[in-house]
Structure 1
Amino acid sequence: MTEPPGSATAPVSESVQRRRTSLLWGSTAAVGFALVWLVVGLGWSPVLELDRATGQWPQETTAQHEWLRHLTLGVSYAFDLIPMTLYTIVTAVLLYMRNHVRAAAWTVIVMLTTSVLTTVVKQVVRRDRPEWDEPLHRLSSYSFPSGHASAIAAAASVAAVLAWMLVRRRNLRRLVVAVAVAVAVVVAADRVFLGVHHLSDVVAGWLLGVAVASFAVALLDPIPRPSAPRVEAMPAVFPSSRQLAVVLNPAKVDDPDAFRAMVEAMAAEAGWEQTTWYETTVQDPGVSQAHAAAVGGADLVITCGGDGTVRTVCEELAGTGIPIGIVPAGTGNLLARNLELPLYLRAAVDVALTGQDRAIDMVSVSGDAMEDSTFLVMAGMGFDAAIMEGVNEDIKSKVGWLAYVLSALKSLMFPAVRVEISVDGAEPTKHRARTIVIGNVGSLQAGMPLIPDAEIDDGELDVVLLNPRRFLSWLPLAVRVLSRNKRTDETITRMRGRTVRVVASGDSPRQLDGDLIEPGKELYAECIPGRLLVRVPRDKERSRLRQRVTGGA
């Protein structure tokens, strides 16, 4: 989602601008609806003749083709009252589960209000359904306005608003809006081809649905409100000028200037006095930028980018005591997902500015043919790294995480390798595996709970070896992983310790936090407890600590 540029007062200006735009759309649609209602109510002959002329050919065409009749009836049933109610409930529940409570409530209000107003207007106008010599489908309810058209127009408006709010990729947002509009057109045309509505009924339904959704944006803005006005400032150990630094990967946001304006406005509202910006480059993915931010006296560093940018900045700031706010703007966003950070940019910036500091572990890693490095989420060898190696960047830029799925399908039968693993310096054990993962967290790509007991601040590493013997063996293996089954056998082997050494029989692909490194035979990982301070949501951190204390009791 892009944000309009502005000054320190941009949140107010942006909100006002959004409200004005929504009111303009709503007012235009409402006036159009009122005009259609007026001419229909007055029985204006040009409109009645147009309704008859535009309805006769579609209805007769449907009557002449049995397949078209079945198709139009299928569309009618798929977008009837009960299915639309179910779609609304599912959408609201998913939004609520992703902590978008305002958007969930807004969605329900839009769809419910549209349905109620449609029913009320039907009873007021009492327009009869079109009459045909050979009716295809009989309905006893009134005709004006079309309930299917108003509901699908409201739903398409909801989809457009949610896409603008939640989808970062511009092309994907446009695709969502285009599909929503296309479905609205199909559903509306279906009412005319089925012969149960006049064209004016459908147009009125569209206008009503758009008007309700637009006015709802103006009156009940679904955009999450910033936490700054509602929470106390984080206590400072020493007096501070509250300097904020932002390390931005400009390639990961649609409009860097708009993102800057949004962050500076929210920072000013949260009480930060100064914001300094650093942009990464292909040659320098964040090392010098994070160093400059630390040397410049930043009290908080926000990093916005993909997993590679986040890992680089965190590695540079580890041990400095400077908290890091993570604004995930990549495809995997592995660390952000495991810390339960919001993926919506504005909400993530809000957490970075007003959240609570949490000390998490970092892992130092070394091996043959590689420089000493670190990771926060995982290191992988074998099939796991082959997925990263096989990702097509062009496809990734268009479909996001689905590119990893396609690569995984191509790499399912990556050959097993013989490895020796030593945990905490013990005698190495011999294994055969298609993939070896050293994890600092529980969930890996696509939210797969590969290590359900792992904690990012427990001071230990978790090792998982997967060795499905045949192609079809991946199916029961996936079921076991997704169901959080902790049973171990020759297919899944688990280990735990502070240090882990993996030595393979031959060179194998390797990755750190989703970034490929040189293939090699060895990985040595050591957990460094509490090495990094990151900002997390206050309510979730309190809940997590409460659960840990209760569980320990």
Structure 2
Amino acid sequence: MLDRPRQTPLIAAVACLLLFAALAVGVSAGWVMFADVDDTGRDLENWADGRGLYGVLRAIELALDAVPIAVYSVVLAVVMYAKHHRRAAILIVAVMTATFVSTQVLKWLIGRNRPEWQETVGLLDSRAFPSGHASQTTALAGVCLVLAVMLVRRANMRRLIGVGMVLLVLVACADRVLLGRHYWTDVVGGVLLGGGLVLLGVALYSPLPRSLALTSLPLPQALPLSNDLAVVLNPIKVEDVAQFQTIVEQMAVGSGWKPPRWYFTTVEDSGTGQAEQASVDGADLVIVCGGDGTVREVCAELAGTGIPVGIVPAGTGNLLARNLGIPLFIRAAIDIALNGQDRAIDMVKATGDGIDDTHFMVMAGMGFDAAIMEGVNEEIKKKVGWIAYVLSALKALMFPTMRLEVSVDGGPFSKHRARTCVVGNVGSLQGGMNLIPDAAIDDGQLDVVLLYPRRFLSWIPLVVRVLSRREKRAGESVARFTGRSVVVRASLEVPRQLDGDTIGPGKELHMECIHGRLLVRVPR
């Protein structure tokens, strides 16, 4: 809906408001066809009263009254504003205000009395048409649906939110009729009014953020560019490839870039060959859209070339994007990739037994954290996203103790016991956990954390102490090291991972930080 021409929501809004106008005329004129339908509300109110539903209905009435709806709307707008979706926040405030004012004005103009059979407790004597509960609940549900379409990537989650919002509106409407507060035509009119104003708001004021190309001055360029753009796309990470291509092409041309050349990853090649070909073809900027694995492959191939990489996160973890402050909203990420500023960041060369020389951008792990990645059910991951990692973590909580040796910057090996070893190039890891608060992706250093909870229940206080940086009380449960190069050896083969991708069990990892090796596009 948000990517379609504005005529689409405008036509839908006009249709809703015309139906509302016809209904308002019929109610004012006392059309018999409406009166016959409205009279059935008397039987429904008697039915609800006879089954002792008053307490539940009254609670719903109070929860969806004008003041609570206003509170919900303000909270939602504040959250959107805090998340830098300012236009969405403005749309929420405008639609909800317009709905409230329109409802009150129309009540006064039409002047319809309440049903004579309404519940006596909490009796209302204000005007009935249209229902304020129905109009404002519909408007709030409508803006929530707009936000879901805009921000929620998984289709099943969007559908779930959509079903929930429809049920909310139906519950609000049923509540008004079962309490006898409104006629059927009152609640139908409220739904048409609220829905029409949401559609009208979207048609007149898009909640999508404005491009940096329109709001910021162009950045100075050291060398003239031909504005050749390449996009490396993992096609299974976007719902509609054609729609995604259209969005990128429109935004690219609008930002002064040439229409992009497209390179699609395959099962056999998850980004290396595509990035190499984009470089050979003379790209001035390569945008990569995919999960952490695709991003890692493209970044490793373009490191040292001077070609900046724009990241459009489309995976479950999106670790590099999160640490660089790149938003997960696809349009905003594309905008930053096209119009952001370049930042030189570190990458890490990694070697070990049983693996070819490779690189990572975010973290490497041995033990518990790698066992989590290894144990993730891909089918569950496709359906519920990051929750699959939580389920896998619960199964792996008592990963056995490892005997490790750690050497930093070529120094002597020190011996340790741990359940997990994480070598981070950044501070924030899976789930936004700030495990290494002093780490920076451009400081030329690696940060090593060893965690050793001795018992099952020791995980919770240990994690709390680590995140609150009260590690002196953790005793031997936490060990930290910092250096440019790190070697970790285990006494037995253990699970290993790089940037969330498992690389098979082994005993060793050799890691070296290469300072400022890669250019990436970040927010200005």
Decide: shared fold, TM above 0.5.
yes
Q: CA–CA distance in 2 between the matches of 1:204 and 1:483?
A: 53
Give secondary structure in 2 for the equivalent of 1:518: coil
1:40 is matched with which residue?
Answer: 27
1:450–1:484: 8 Å Cα contact kept in structure 2? no
Shift of 1:91: 1.7
2:389 is matched with which residue?
Answer: 404
Q: CA–CA distance in 1 between the matches of 2:65 and 2:468?
A: 35
Quick one: which of 497, 503, 515 aligns to 1:511? 497
Classify 1:24/1:482 alpha carbon distance in 2 versus 1 (closer, same or farther; 3 Å): farther
Quick one: which of 47, 62, 71 aligns to 1:61? 47
1:63–1:136: 8 Å Cα contact kept in structure 2? no
1:438–1:464: 8 Å Cα contact kept in structure 2? yes
1:279 is matched with which residue?
Answer: 264
Quick one: which of 489, 502, 507 aligns to 2:475? 489
Shift of 1:158: 0.8
Give secondary structure in 1 for the equivalent of 2:43: helix
Which shifted more, 385-394 or 303-312? 385-394
1:242–1:274: 8 Å Cα contact kept in structure 2? no
Query: 1:426-441 maps to which residues of 2 (within 5 A)?
Result: 426-441=411-426
1:311–1:376: 8 Å Cα contact kept in structure 2? yes
2:183 is matched with which residue?
Answer: 198
Shift of 1:337: 0.6
Quick one: which of 84, 88, 91 aligns to 2:69? 84
Confirm whether residue 535 of structure 1 aligns to residue 515 of structure 2.
Answer: no
Shift of 1:232: 3.6
Shift of 1:212: 1.1
Shift of 1:58: 2.4
Give secondary structure in 2 for the equivalent of 1:138: coil
Q: Deviations over 1:73-132 (max 9, x none)?
A: 222222222332232222222222221111111112111221222222223333222222
Shift of 1:272: 1.5
1:242 is matched with which residue?
Answer: 227
Q: CA–CA distance in 1 between the matches of 2:243 and 2:75?
A: 32
Give secondary structure in 2 for the equivalent of 1:533: strand
Classify 1:133/1:338 alpha carbon distance in 2 versus 1 (closer, same or farther; 3 Å): closer
2:57 is matched with which residue?
Answer: 72
Q: CA–CA distance in 2 between the matches of 1:160 and 1:133?
A: 32
Q: CA–CA distance in 1 between the matches of 2:332 and 2:119?
A: 56
Confirm whether residue 378 of structure 1 aligns to residue 360 of structure 2.
Answer: no
1:547 is matched with which residue?
Answer: none
Q: CA–CA distance in 1 between the matches of 2:44 and 2:34?
A: 17
Q: CA–CA distance in 1 between the matches of 2:484 and 2:15?
A: 64
2:452–2:477: 8 Å Cα contact kept in structure 1? yes
Which shifted more, 409-418 or 359-368? 409-418
Q: How many residue pairs align between the two structures?
A: 523
Amino acid at match of 2:478: I
2:9 is matched with which residue?
Answer: 22
Classify 1:263/1:391 alpha carbon distance in 2 versus 1 (closer, same or farther; 3 Å): same
Q: Deviations over 1:309-363 (max 9, x none)?
A: 0000000011111100001111111100110101111111111111100000001
Which shifted more, 221-230 or 483-492? 483-492
Q: CA–CA distance in 2 between the matches of 1:414 and 1:502?
A: 18
Quick one: which of 27, 36, 39 aligns to 1:52? 39
Q: CA–CA distance in 2 between the matches of 1:205 and 1:81?
A: 13
Classify 1:33/1:260 alpha carbon distance in 2 versus 1 (closer, same or farther; 3 Å): same
Query: 1:208-247 maps to which residues of 2 (within 5 A)?
Result: 208-247=193-232
Q: Deviations over 1:34-69 (max 9, x none)?
A: 12221222222331231121x123212221122x22
Classify 1:428/1:215 alpha carbon distance in 2 versus 1 (closer, same or farther; 3 Å): same
Q: Deviations over 1:253-296 (max 9, x none)?
A: 11111211221221112112352111000101011110011111
2:299 is matched with which residue?
Answer: 314
Q: CA–CA distance in 1 between the matches of 2:423 and 2:71?
A: 42
Quick one: which of 450, 453, 463 aligns to 1:468? 453
Amino acid at match of 1:43: G
Give secondary structure in 1 for the equivalent of 2:300: helix
Give secondary structure in 1 for the equivalent of 2:443: coil
Quick one: which of 139, 144, 162 aligns to 2:147? 162
Amino acid at match of 2:165: A
Quick one: which of 101, 110, 131 aligns to 1:146? 131
With normalisation by structure 2, the TM-score equals 0.96
Classify 1:508/1:115 alpha carbon distance in 2 versus 1 (closer, same or farther; 3 Å): same
Classify 1:134/1:242 alpha carbon distance in 2 versus 1 (closer, same or farther; 3 Å): closer
Q: CA–CA distance in 1 between the matches of 2:467 and 2:47?
A: 50
Classify 1:344/1:192 alpha carbon distance in 2 versus 1 (closer, same or farther; 3 Å): same
Q: Deviations over 1:154-211 (max 9, x none)?
A: 1121122111111222222222212211211122112112221111111011011111
2:233–2:289: 8 Å Cα contact kept in structure 1? yes
Q: CA–CA distance in 1 between the matches of 2:244 and 2:360?
A: 27
Shift of 1:482: 4.5
Classify 1:124/1:484 alpha carbon distance in 2 versus 1 (closer, same or farther; 3 Å): farther
Amino acid at match of 2:320: L
Q: CA–CA distance in 2 between the matches of 1:465 and 1:378?
A: 13
Amino acid at match of 2:512: E
Q: CA–CA distance in 1 between the matches of 2:417 and 2:93?
A: 52
1:449–1:484: 8 Å Cα contact kept in structure 2? no
Give secondary structure in 2 for the equivalent of 1:458: coil
Amino acid at match of 2:87: R
2:116 is matched with which residue?
Answer: 131
Which shifted more, 433-442 or 305-314? 433-442
Give secondary structure in 1 for the equivalent of 2:517: strand
Which shifted more, 108-117 or 523-532? 108-117
Q: CA–CA distance in 2 between the matches of 1:410 and 1:196?
A: 52
Q: CA–CA distance in 2 between the matches of 1:209 and 1:335?
A: 41
Q: CA–CA distance in 2 between the matches of 1:444 and 1:23?
A: 43
**Percentage identity across aligned positions?**
57
Q: CA–CA distance in 1 between the matches of 2:470 and 2:48?
A: 53
Q: CA–CA distance in 2 between the matches of 1:98 and 1:233?
A: 24
1:303–1:327: 8 Å Cα contact kept in structure 2? yes
2:119–2:179: 8 Å Cα contact kept in structure 1? no
Which sections of structure 1, spanning at least 5 residues, go unmatched? 4-13, 539-553
Which shifted more, 287-296 or 81-90? 81-90
Q: CA–CA distance in 2 between the matches of 1:409 and 1:456?
A: 30
2:272–2:298: 8 Å Cα contact kept in structure 1? yes
Which shifted more, 95-104 or 298-307? 95-104
1:454 is matched with which residue?
Answer: 439
With normalisation by structure 1, the TM-score equals 0.91
Which shifted more, 160-169 or 315-324? 160-169
Classify 1:484/1:120 alpha carbon distance in 2 versus 1 (closer, same or farther; 3 Å): farther
